[in-house]
Amino acid sequence: MINVFDKNIFWSGALALMAKDLQEIQRCLVLVPHPDDESLGCAGLIATLVAQGTQVQIILTTDGSRSHPNSRKYPADRLAGIRLDELRQAMDLLGLKNEALKYYQAQDSNMPAKGMPGFAGLADRLAEDLIALNPDLILVPYELDPHCDHRATHQLMLSALEKANIPRPRIWEYPIWLYENAVQEDIPDLQPGETLALDISDYSALKMQCIQMHKSQTTHLIDDDPTGFILLPDVIANFTQGKEYFMERKKINPDNTLDKTYFDALYHTSADPWDFEKSAYEQDKYLATIAAIPEADYTNALEIGCSIGVLTEMLSERCKHLVAMDISKTALERARQRLGKSYKVEFLLGGIPQDFPTGNFDLIIMSEVGYYLSMSDLLLTRQQIVNALLPGGVLILVHWIHFVAEYPLSGDEVHGCFNAIGISHLDAKRTADYRLDVYRKT
């Protein structure tokens, strides 16, 4: 196989990580498909974090039992035990105690990928561990690293984050087999600033010791399987350059407000990308939203992010005039078609905060929109909403609370932002999937 990944370009384009970039990391989770991936991919970073007092936890997702499948001296059970001991020895060198290790024992080279039997159970288990640790940083193999277990581990992380409902951690991906076995489809489309380099020269000798702890993989300890795996010196050399390299891709670490092109692509693919019209979840949420609106005569209301107008139609029955805005022209046209020539509803094409409408409102609804914004844009939108609300005006917030990789914020972060401004909190509801909060401006 000819590797098509140019590691020299990858390395030369990396931004240098400074000590200050790591200081806020109090808890770090390292997801490791096989014993030795931690030493190869991030031993230097682990040592750096341990030295500054960061709590580091390692989760080994497979049993590591299949590197020498034809060995009679070292059958799968024995090999798994040896490799686990090697990992513990490397951890000891890094200053990590046995309690810092958890292992899931999926079968090496056969770890369940998303949708396969056993995957959901592993995701539930990882979600529990994520809640317990609440990491600031997750280290995980690159999404398309050319090994099935590495890819499955990445999928497991994303699925577990959707279940865990924890504050969004930073996610740094480390390459292992990308350096040696990549085909064109594996190569990351990296933007400037998405590759990071950490100078680990102070820990170079320690890192090599950690790698050498994995004797079953770096030596001919297992000598009765000529087809067995071994880490060759030129492979190890990818990880002993005095620096460690990570990817902090915006795809899974978004910090900018999602723009019009994101929504245009969704509506181009589907006329109803979130199944607003038929979803039982959406119907329940809409009914709860309408029920949460305090009884009053609302003269002028604003719906931020009306999409195709399913909730808009219901809201129009509760107010004399409604401004319904959305960033997608396609969605807005469908909303117009749904409501026909309703004199109550005025449609506005635009996104927040830049296109926030002028005027004052006695009712504002923002449902499933806030997490598309960067924190700076959410703070600006919050101020716009407070300024636009009339005294006694009501604000309804409703948001999905699970992790979504491409969303800059979580639903809980959005609602927490509004809880901090001191307007009266009238009501709150939280289900397994969404939260709803009602506020009144005094």
- Give yes or no for a contact between 327 and 377, defined as CB atoms under 8 angstroms apart: no
pLDDT at 175: 98
pLDDT at 421: 85
Query: CATH assignment of 260-440?
Result: 3.40.50.150
d(CA 360, CA 137): 42
Chain position carrying tokens 């509760």: 318
Length of the chain: 442
The dihedral sign for the CA sequence 26, 29, 30, 35:
positive
Cβ contacts of residue 194 below 8 Å, gap of 6+? 188, 247, 248, 249, 250
pLDDT at 36: 98
Instruction: Return the number of other C-beta atoms located less than 10 Å from residue 69's C-beta.
Output: 16
pLDDT at 385: 97
Is the CATH code 3.10.20.30 the one for domain 7-247?
no
CA angle 361, 366, 368 (to 5 degrees): 170
Answer whether 0.85 is exceeded by the pTM: yes
Q: Give the torsion through C-alpha atoms of 110, 112, 114, 118, to 10 deg.
A: 170
**Number of helices (H), then strands (E), in the chain:** 16, 15
Selection from 243, 235, 180, 190 nearest residue 211 by Cα: 235
Cβ contacts of residue 407 below 8 Å, gap of 6+? 254, 258, 371, 372
pLDDT, tens digit only, all 442 positions of the chain: 567 899 999 999 999 998 889 999 999 999 999 999 999 999 999 999 999 999 999 999 999 999 999 999 999 999 999 999 999 999 999 999 999 999 999 999 999 999 999 999 999 999 999 999 999 999 999 999 999 999 999 999 999 999 998 999 999 999 999 999 999 999 999 999 999 999 999 999 999 999 999 999 999 999 999 999 999 999 999 999 999 999 999 999 999 999 999 999 999 999 888 899 999 999 999 999 999 999 999 999 999 999 999 999 999 999 999 999 999 999 999 999 999 887 799 999 999 999 999 999 999 999 999 999 999 999 999 999 999 999 999 999 999 999 999 999 999 999 999 988 878 999 999 999 999 999 999 8
Per domain, the residue ranges of the chain are 7-247, 260-440
d(CA 293, CA 314): 12
